[in-house]
A = this chain, B = another copy of it.
Amino acid sequence: MLTVGVDIGGTKIAAGIVDEDGTILERTRWETDPEDLARIDGSIVAAITELRAGFQVGAVGVAAAGFVSPRRDSVMFAPNIAWRDYPLRDRIAESVDLPIVVENDANAAGWAEFRFGAGRDVEHMVMVTIGTGVGGAIIVDGHLLRGAYGVAAEIGHLKMVPNGHYCGCGHEGCWERYASGQALTLAARHRVTTDPEGGRAMQRIAGEGHRIKGPHVARAAMEGDPTALEIFGDLGRWIGMGCASLAAVLDPELIVIGGGVAEAGELFLDAAREGFVDHLSARGHRPEARIELAVLGNDAGIIGAGDLARL
């Protein structure tokens, strides 16, 4: 059975025809507006309709950044789109006569890696999605762990540092304040303040007078700048340390690091593995989870949403 997978971002909707091997046979992309919920609904329907024209489709999966109800029909809350207890499935179903499921986008991406990507050979996997913040997905015994209310795997909010950096969630010291793209950027900017000499390469790449962003740090690191490499090393160690907490709870066989920052994965993967074993409890008395980079890139949301629609 073919399905449509839809991945809803803040300003665009990406969708594709997904086959049973996780291959995207056809794609489309529609612009949208995070404030205009009716337009988002319309764009989703348009994307599905466009794709169905050429294929026999059996179901639709929609991946959205937000808290999705356990029945997979509505979005209870979204940080970047104005959904509040929004019956997304039913709104789409008004115009689309197919079974439809709504999924959290990190869950969809994690599921794709589990089924067709880095985790295709394991049964217990954690996906750590490192973008602006840190999200995740948890696979237990081959099943997606959604939790009692559909909001499991909000792993970016593991408490890592009492009285630590303030988080967008209002709390202090959440893992994503230390292990995300935003953490990387802030570390670089503060480093320039306290160590202008060391920060020179990053600032040059950003342009004098411009704020340093993650890609500037990555570029500097790839050019061998020791400060940028050190910042990526710190990022990796924080990633690894959080993975050790996840391993204490979940005992996965594999931890997959994905998300936009993982594109620079080679700059922090060794440090993440080192931070992981340095903090893994009962080391030596248990097999150790592997840590690997995701392989599906930006397609993971579409593929995972499409595949989860089959279940």
Contact = CB atoms under 8 A, between A and B. Distances in A.
A93 interface: no
Given A159-B160, A166-B186, A193-B169, A252 B147 contact: yes
Given A141-B143, A169-B194, A190-B170, A159 B245 contact: yes
Given A76-B285, A193-B170, A286-B149, A159 B244 contact: yes
Contacts of A138: 249
A99 interface: no
A258 to B, nearest CB: 17
Contact of A67 (B186, B190, B279, B282): B282
Given A76-B285, A193-B169, A286-B76, A153 B67 contact: no
B281 A152 contact: no
Interface in A244-282: 244-246, 248-253, 277-279, 281-282
Interface in A149-176: 149-167, 169-174
Contacts of A169: 193-194, 281-282
Nearest to A123: B148
Nearest to A251: B147
Given A163-B178, A245-B245, A251 B150 contact: yes
A281 B249 contact: no
A interface secondary structure, majority: loop
A193 B250 CA distance: 22
A122 interface: yes
Nearest to A159: B245
Nearest to A169: B281
Q: Interface size for chain A: under 10, 10 to 19, 20 to 34, or 35 or more residues?
A: 35 or more
Interface string A178-218: 10000000100011111110000000000000000000000
A124 B147 contact: yes
A171 B279 contact: yes
A162 B159 contact: no
A140 interface: yes
A145 B250 contact: yes
Given A149-B253, A159-B279, A174-B281, 18 more contacts: A122-B148, A140-B140, A145-B250, A146-B251, A147-B250, A148-B251, A148-B252, A148-B287, A154-B248, A154-B249, A157-B245, A158-B248, A161-B161, A167-B281, A170-B194, A171-B279, A172-B190, A195-B278
